[in-house]
Structure 1
Amino acid sequence: MPRHRNGGDRACRERLSQQQQQLVVRQQQQQKRQMLQSGGARVEAEEKPPDGDDSSLFPTLFVPRSVTNLDRLMESVAPFIEARYSPEVYARGFETTKVDSRAFFYLEDLWESFSEWSVYGRGVPLLLRGGEPIQQYYVPSLSGIQLHIHPSKASSTLTALMITAGCGNWEVDKGDEYVFDLHTKQLSRVDNADSPGQLSIQFFERDLPHDRRPLSNKMSLLASPFPELSKIRSCDLLPTSWISVAWYPIYRIPVGSTMQDSQAAFLTFHSLSTQSKSSSASPKFHQANTRTVCGFVDPTARISLPVFALASYKLKGSIFGPRGTDEWEQEKSLSQAAENWLKCVQVELPDYMYFRRRSSGVMF
């Protein structure tokens, strides 16, 4: 039976999870503050960092003077997912008295939110340097994903994965941590686990972009051997669960005389856990109805997955290229957040490593 040695730093992961939440809060504050500010200003987190904070793990997110093309991209590619509730809430006609009314989503709901974008691309409204508006379309593909399932919720999924991986004769030890690789379809036990009983499921894409399936198709393919994967709930995932989506340009409207300024590609990072009750947690809950009734939930509500970090490729010379100090600061802080996150979850994401190595040149 394969066994891995756990080199993870749990304290580091927890601090990065807090950093992730703070970055999302700052992004959510951005539009409100832009309407009040006449010039660029650094936005400090409303809540104090934890004791022993390392400032390098909590880079200050810079708020530009006006909405940038990066802002438009991040807002456009954040998926909105149907909010789900416990069976008791539905049975009571969305009345929440004395029942758990916390919203969550199934992973299959997330894949579904990408289905239309996977076919037609995701349109992002952008401004050229002369102020001309265009609609740039990007196709999403899976770059990487890590699901860390809470020990109290992992047993049924683990049993199903054991059967799929041909490990049905294993005896489950609650003191062990388990890792399932969606690429190799191998299940491993982790030695010296600092998260006993936890089940982690991961996949890191290695195919070249032109050989990849769009995101929703890829996840359907990965999940087909074990349907249990699609039924994992966001509220059963630990805050260190995340997904990285690669966005490559496919066309723009109007086409224009050249596409040289439209070749930038991006990796966006999104949290997948709705476990936290904190107001600073992400994903973010959205009520569609403006009128709310005390004691009832909104059946049309949605959950969004904001971008908490971003990496770029061929940014220089593109319509996303920073046009001033404030936009350089914005790009730098988002890039630093991605680097810090991957470093502390100890993942060498192939797409990210490629972006780092090749800041210019021909696109794949």
Structure 2
Amino acid sequence: MAYSNLESFLKCATPAVRTQFLPKWQSLQGRDSIGYFVLEDLWDCYDEWSAYGVGAPIRLNGHETVVQYYTPYLSALQIYTGKSLDLRTGIEELYLESETESMSSDNEEGRLSRTNSISSNRMWDSDDSGTDQDTELKIKKPLGKLYCQYFDHSSPHQRLPFRDMIKKLAEEYLGLNSLRSIDLSPASWMAVAWYPIYHLPSQRNPKELYSAFLTYHSLCSSFEEGLKTRETGGTTALPPFGLATYRMQRRVWVKPGTEDSQKISSLLSAASSWLTQVDAIHHPDFGFFVSRSM
């Protein structure tokens, strides 16, 4: 089946992570096993992409095909857990989500609210009083404890590639490598900004290929409302559940007779709804992309 250019990009921007399974004795009743992935394995998917870019086949003028390469950058990250973690080690501390939650130490709260020196991004404790909203995507449980938060405010040419940024964050927050998807709250997510770098074969008029994209991915392997990951062939795919575009040439990316236009609109709406629910409505890249989507 021939993909539209939009579908081609979304497929190439979907990481496939090695799936692991809990032993039967650790699984829920009625299930043989529970699949999960380790965050470090997810970050490893971006190693080659960060160094050389990811290539998406793009068809031009109905017949000519080029491979457009994009470099991924970490645009935003929120990791919520159901347990309290030491921010420096990622080691679980005693934490119960019911009556004992109010007994969390003042020291932990202080660590959570301190200023992160990397790109002037903040990390703070989350209010656990989650509320459902009448939107396409609903978080049906409290957000959990906010372990890590990152928003990039830099211009694209000043940013570190995705994998390098994760490595820098992980120097202080070791849980970024050791946490598993089953340890995370359904509110955990990341956004990846994809900027074009080159295409093969080279074109004389490459402006139509200068579109950039912002994709949103769930980091929890048990999300509801259509955000479930797909487990196939020993890997877990994390397709984008939200999307924003920057200077997208619709004649290139929207294929006539397809649902591309509806998909773009739906994914944009999902991203906007999501940011409202996780209290991240000031995601800098989202505002920038939306204001310059055409």
**Given the alignment, which residue of 221, 225, 229 partners 1:274?**
221
Unmatched tracts of structure 1, length 5 or more? 1-34, 36-65, 163-172, 288-300
Separation (CA, whole Å) in 2 of partners of 1:261 and 1:319: 7
* 1:284 aligns with one of 225, 230, 238: 230
Is 1:174 the counterpart of 2:101 in the alignment? yes
Q: 2:124 is paired with a residue of what secondary structure? A: strand
Letter aligned with residue 51 of structure 2: V
Structure 2 partner of 1:338 = 271
Conserved 8 A contact 1:272-1:283: no
Name whichever of 327-336 and 207-216 sits farther off. 327-336
Instruction: Answer yes or no: is the 8 Å Cα contact 2:126–2:143 preserved in 1.
Output: no
In the other structure, the counterpart of 1:10 is none
Q: Distance in 2 between matches of 1:346 and 1:220?
A: 25
SS in 2 for 1:137: strand
Q: Shift in Å at residue 251 of structure 1? A: 0.6
Match of 1:130 in 2: 62
Look up the SS of the partner of 1:341 in the other structure.
helix
Counterpart residue identity of residue 312, structure 1: T
Q: Distance in 1 between matches of 2:225 and 2:165?
A: 33
- Write the deviation string for residues 222-243 of structure 1: whole angstroms up to 9, x where unpaired: 1112323211110111112111
Output aligned runs, 1:108-187, within 5 Å: 108-150=40-82, 154-158=83-87, 160=89, 174-175=101-102, 179=112, 183=118
Partner of 2:240: 307
Identity of aligned residues (%): 33
> In the comparison of the two structures, how many residue pairs are matched?
262
Where 2:168 maps in the other structure, the secondary structure is helix
What's 1:60 paired with? none
**Structure 1 residue 354 and structure 2 residue 288: aligned?**
yes
Of the structure 1 ranges 333-342 and 112-121, higher mean CA displacement relative to structure 2 is found in 333-342
State the distance in 2 between where 1:326 and 1:226 align: 41
Equivalence for 1:83 = 19
Structure showing greater Rg: 1
Instruction: Answer whether contact 1:236 1:275 (CA < 8 A) is retained.
Output: no
1:67 matched residue in structure 2? 3
Equivalent residue for 2:253? 320
Name which of 159, 173, 178 aligns with 1:231: 178
**Contact (CA 8 Å) 2:81, 2:183: kept in 1 or not?**
yes
Aligned AA (2:170): A
Name 2:138's counterpart in structure 1: none
SS of residue matched to 2:35 = coil
Kindly indicate whether residue 141 of structure 2 is the aligned counterpart of residue 205 of structure 1: no
Mark the CA change 1:196 to 1:214 in structure 2 (over 3 Å): closer, same or farther.
closer
Superposition CA RMSD, Å: 3.2
Structure 1 distance, partners of 2:227, 2:293, is: 33
Taking structure 1 as reference, are residues 235 and 345 closer, same or farther at Cα in structure 2, changes over 3 Å only? Answer: same
For 1:262 and 1:336, the matched residues in 2 are separated by 24
Once residues 226 and 288 of structure 2 are traced to their aligned partners in structure 1, the CA distance between those partners, rounded to angstroms, is 32
Gaps of 5+ in 2: 92-99, 131-141
With over 3 angstroms needed to count, the CA separation of the structure-2 counterparts of 1:137 and 1:193, relative to structure 1, is: same
Deviation at 1:324, TM superposition (A): 6.3
Task: Calculate the TM-score normalised by the size of structure 2.
Answer: 0.78
TM-score, scaled relative to structure 1: 0.64
